Amino acid sequence: MQTKILLSEDRIPKRWYNIIPDMPGPLAPVINPRTLQPVTPDDMLAIFPMPLIEQEVSTERWIEIPDEVRQIYRLWRPSPVYRAHRLEKALGTPARIYYKYEGGSPAGSHKPNSAIPQAYYNKISGTRRIATETGAGQWGSSIALACQMFGLECTVYMVKVSFGQKPYRKSMMQLWGAEVIASPSDRTHSGRSILERDPENQGSLGIAISEAVEDAAGRADTCYALGSVLNHVCLHQTIIGQEAKEQLALAGDYPDVVIGCHGGGSNFAGIAFPFAADKAAGKNVRIVAMEPASCPTLTKGVYAFDFGDTARMAPISKMYTLGHDFMPPGIHAGGLRYHGASPLVSQLVDAGVVEARAVPQNTCFDAAVAFSRTEGIIPAPESSHAIRGAIDEALRAREEGKEKTILFCLSGHGHVDMAAYDAYFSGKLEDFEYPEAAIKESLSHLPDVKL
Ligand SMILES: Cc1ncc(COP(=O)(O)O)c(C=O)c1O
């Protein structure tokens, strides 16, 4: 009855797994938002350091993790895999449920797995300052920590609704030395133009990205960092799935289904891509992305070229999108409120390698409470979507009387998200309907990319 499956520090992966050579087809080009032509490395150099641009387009299957990064990973990696014995018992399921817990990092989620290498590559490339955005504050606190470790300055544009809902995330960023600005702000042209039209605007990830990109593009000493979506971010997160595969092997098991919550796609890619490689090689494994019904990018969006941000400054990618000016409702799983998705995850969904499901937030909190009461750990609201998916699979196994192995990524803890639990317990948590009309309107503004 082993509960924690642990690896020693020398088992921290030495290489990131790059899924690009194993994708089901060629990647769509990334498009320059001004010229509507494929981006060149020079376009990207205005906001990213060269090593990250190289990783973004690399076709090498394995990419070495620098020692300086592995040294810092040692603070929380390898992360544990838990067998959810108590949850299984409470559900009365014949399924074996495992979860890979990423909440033990200093910031409390998977996000430092990419923040640390991003800060490292910026540092060795001569960057002095990083501008970035954050939704719920998990990415902002992770990059603040990473910048502190490598001696970089850091400015974080934080989506205004989260700035109000999660004041302690702001304090964490300040503690690690970052400047935090509620977005939309008057610091940038894109922020000011939104506030002129709508002074009460509560912000979105798309707007905060515009502000951070504008900030970085306008200063020679500053680069931009993104906590999800991009290929190199998904790449860095693959240490999650690599470790998990080894841990399940130690338990003599292999998943029938792998589940992750999906915002921009990075923790999902992290747990899923190493298993997608097995699937491409003929293994029978289902891979499921869980997203909020109020921001149903993968399930109700279209697979098309779209801007990564609201002000149309970020590159255009082919991805599932709800439209770059779609303003999702202010749900508590703030890290899942993004109009787009990782182009890699999108292509896998389009090719049928990955399944996607959308779930309303109250059912996710039901799952999070059931999980906390059995397993003890209080999940981040984002992660509760993966728990919902895992519990539903386990209940189906019970109905079918079938044994099944379920692995999910518990991407973070919810210690700084207790306001969301308060709202749930006091019955104030609303389930927003899929805002069909708003999405239809937003989808009518997609860029006209002709290649
Ligand atoms: C705990 C947690 N899980 C998941 C996500 C979603 O991001 P991604 O899809 O990049 O993993 C976030 C984003 O902030 C998060 O904080």
Each residue of 149-189: pLDDT tens digit? 999 999 999 999 889 888 999 999 999 999 999 999 999 99
Question: Does the CB atom of residue 266 touch ligand 1 within 6 A?
Answer: yes
Distance between CA 194 and CA 191 in Å, rounded?
Answer: 5
Q: Is the CB of 387 under 6 A from ligand 1?
A: no
Whether 267 lines ligand 1, by a CB cut-off of 6 Å, is yes
Q: How far is the CA of 228 from the centre of ligand 1 (A)?
A: 8
208, 134 in Cβ contact below 8 A?
yes
Q: What's the per-residue H, E or C state across the chain?
A: CCCEECCCHHHCCCEEECCHHHCCCCCCCCECCCCCCECCHHHHHCCCCHHHHHHHHCCCCEEECCHHHHHHHCCCCCCCEEECHHHHHHHCCCCEEEEEECCCCCCCECCHHHHHHHHHHHHHCCCCEEEEEECCCHHHHHHHHHHHHHCCEEEEEEEHHHHHHCHHHHHHHHHCCCEEEEECCCCCHHHHHHHHHCCCCCCCHHHHHHHHHHHHHCCCCEEEECCCCCHHHHHHHCHHHHHHHHHHHHCCCCCCEEEEECCCCHHHHHHHHHHHHHHHCCCCCEEEEEEECCCCHHHHCEEEEEECCCCCCCCEEEEEECCCCCCCCCCCCHHHCCCCCCHHHHHHHHCCCCEEEEECHHHHHHHHHHHHHHHCCCECCCCHHHHHHHHHHHHHHHHHCCCCEEEEEECEECCCCHHHHHHHHCCCCCCCCCCHHHHHHHHCCCCCCCC
Q: Please state, in angstroms and rounded to a whole number, the distance separating the CA atoms of residues 362 and 100.
A: 23
Q: pLDDT tens, 225-238?
A: 999 999 999 999 99
Question: Rounded to the nearest whole angstrom, what is the distance from the C-alpha of residue 400 to the centroid of ligand 1?
Answer: 32
Substitution site in 267, 346, 364 for ligand 1 pocket (most atoms within 8 Å of beta carbon): 267
Give residue 255 CA to ligand 1 midpoint distance, Å.
22
Residues 249, 283: Cα–Cα separation, whole Å: 15
State the sign of the Cα–Cα–Cα–Cα dihedral 390, 396, 401, 402.
Answer: negative
31 CB less than 6 Å from ligand 1?
no
Per-residue pLDDT tens over the stretch 297-330: 999 999 999 999 888 988 999 999 999 988 877 7
Taking the C-alpha atoms of residue 142 and residue 140, their distance in angstroms, rounded to an integer, is 5
CA distance 224 to 315: 13
Predicted confidence at residue 333, as pLDDT, reads 73
Pocket flag, ligand 1, residue 296 (CB < 6 Å):
no
> What distance in angstroms lies between residue 335's CA and the mean position of ligand 1's atoms?
5
Question: Which residue's CA is the nearest one to ligand 1's atom 13?
Answer: 335
Q: Which of 145, 377, 384, 411 to mutate to test the pocket of ligand 1 (most atoms within 8 A of CB)?
A: 411
pLDDT at residue 121 in the model: 98
Residue 261 near ligand 1, beta carbon < 6 Å: yes
Distance, CA 238 to ligand 1 centroid (Å)? 14
Ligand 1 mean position, distance from CA 71 (Å)? 24
pLDDT in the model for residue 338: 87
Q: Which atom of ligand 1 is nearest to the CA of 269?
A: 11
- Quick one: angle between helices 418-425 and 361-375, nearest 10? 110
Best probe residue, ligand 1, of 382, 383, 409, 416 (max atoms within 8 Å of C-beta): 382
Q: What are phi and psi of 101, to 5 degrees?
A: -100, 115
Quick one: tokens of 24?
């089901």
User: Hey, whose CA ends up nearest to atom 12 of ligand 1?
Assistant: 335
Whether the ω angle into residue 29 lies within 30 degrees of 0, i.e. cis, is no
Q: Measured from the CB, is residue 265 less than 6 Å from ligand 1?
A: yes
Residue 125 CB neighbours (<10 A): 15
The pTM (predicted TM-score) of the whole model is 0.97
Does residue 345 line the site of ligand 1, with CB under 6 A? no
Most informative mutation of 132, 336, 387 for ligand 1 (most atoms within 8 A of CB): 336
CB of 262 closer than 6 angstroms to any ligand 1 atom: yes
Cα(227) to ligand 1 centroid in Å equals 9
Ligand 1, atom 15: nearest CA belongs to which residue?
A: 335
Greatest CA separation found in the chain? 61
Distance 383 CA to ligand 1 centre (A): 7
Residues of the chain with confidence (pLDDT) below 70: none
Closest atom, ligand 1, to C-alpha of 380: 1
pLDDT score recorded for residue 332: 76
Residue 90 identity (one-letter amino acid):
A
* C-alpha span between 357 and 95 (Å, rounded): 20
Q: What is the pLDDT of residue 376?
A: 98
CA 196 to ligand 1 center in whole angstroms: 30
